[in-house]
Amino acid sequence: MGLALKRLSLATQVADILRAEIGNGVWKDWLPSERELSRTLHISRNTCRGGLRLLQRETLIEPVKGRGIRLIQPVKHRENARSNGHGHTVGVIMPHSLALMPPHSGVVLDKLREELTMFGAQICTYDCPGGYKRNPATALERLVTHHRHDCWVLTRSTEAMQAWFMRRGIPCVISGSVYSGMKLPFADQDRRALCRHAAGHFIALGHRRIAFLNRRHRTAGDLESEEGFLEAVRASSHRDIDARLVYHDDTRDMAIKQLGTLWRGGSSPTALLIANPYCYLSVASALAAKGLAVPADLSLISRDDETFLTYLQPEPARYILDPSRLARKLVSVIRPLLQHTTANRENGKILSRFEAGGTCRAIESRGKPAGL
């Protein structure tokens, strides 16, 4: 017997998502505009128009010139849609549009979409800058009121955002780490373990002056990274280790400024761990501009991975996590929420693979690199 997997067109997937949203009662009489739907779903206007045409053929909607898209025949109820495998919907909240997110985030989202589609669930994405402010309540309340989903996925979430969802008891999963005291399901790479490994790797290579260039606006994962870095220093038998923490604000200028700070007043580090692969580029280019070589003058490790790092020479030492693994881990904690069972409380941490690259070297002397 020959079996063929059915591949749904993008227009069909759009129609499935909109049909599920209608069935969930998200819209009463009118759909949002074509422009707004395209922006929310991160699709082209043509793809959105194709999905709307399919719903029009089903006599679910009717374009009304000058007014918008009117609902004609609402989907009877949610369970009918679920019986066809397209009733579950998951809302993904992001601080910016997908175009402004790191490439790795887009890959993870695509993999998550594939995994959930196999389970019969659909994804809707929302860029909600207000949800990432100091007080996110108003923006989040508006979002969850106007868009009903079985579960929400929070990306790059702040402590205030996680606390709001926990207080409200709204089903959600954290794509990333959770802050202390937050009893929410999550999935993330084990940043504490990888930064503990990074500091231990430097120490094993003979470095005694090491630094961690971390993000100033620290997420839970950044805080765990710091803890892991310092754990390795405290666990070392070497008591002469000078370990420093400095912070950047995810910009080129600040990364370069902080690099200069490390070389002023006292012994400079011989090894540097960097959070944010873009800031790794800033540091590497600043060193090259000053005539300093990596790793001859300074050993570097990038905590995070992006595809573009493979194009650097020497290729950076870094920690690589397969996006498919993260997506599957996310699905494992999302599924119980879609099935209205107890959320999965298993350890949501995933170990990354260390890529040694060519940016670390063993040292015998403790000579100071030339000043910046």
Any domain includes 44: yes
Give the integer Cα–Cα distance in Å for 20 and 34. 17
Half-sphere exposure of 141 (CA within 13 A, CB side): 6
pLDDT on residue 2: 36
Instruction: Provide the number of structural domains found in the chain.
Output: 2
Any domain includes 253: yes
pLDDT tens for residues 187-196? 999 999 999 9
Is the distance from CB of 206 to CB of 162 less than 8 angstroms? no
Q: Are residues 197 and 316 in the same domain?
A: yes
Give the integer Cα–Cα distance in Å for 172 and 162. 9
> 355-368 b/e with 16+ CB inside 10 Å = b?
bebebbbebeeeee
Q: Are residues 199 and 317 in the same domain?
A: yes
Residues of the chain with pLDDT under 50: 1-7, 75-86, 366-367, 370
Range of the domain at 27: 1-86
| Token couple for 137 | 């309540």
CATH code, domain carrying 270: 3.40.50.2300
Is the distance from CB of 110 to CB of 92 less than 8 angstroms? no
pLDDT on residue 362: 96
Q: Are residues 196 and 317 in the same domain?
A: yes
pLDDT on residue 345: 57
> 321-343 b/e with 16+ CB inside 10 Å = b?
bebebbbebbbbbbbbbbeeeeb
Nearest one of 173, 363, 332, 132 to 269, comparing CA atoms: 363
Any domain includes 223: yes
pLDDT tens for residues 226-255? 999 999 999 999 999 999 999 999 999 999
CA angle 343, 157, 180 (to 5 degrees): 65
Residue 188 host element (H or E): strand 186-189
Q: State which of 86, 116, 141 marks the end of a domain.
A: 86
pLDDT on residue 366: 47
pLDDT on residue 1: 34
**What is the C-alpha R_g of the chain?**
24
CATH code, domain carrying 36: 1.10.10.10
How many other CB atoms sit within 10 Å of the CB of residue 354? 15
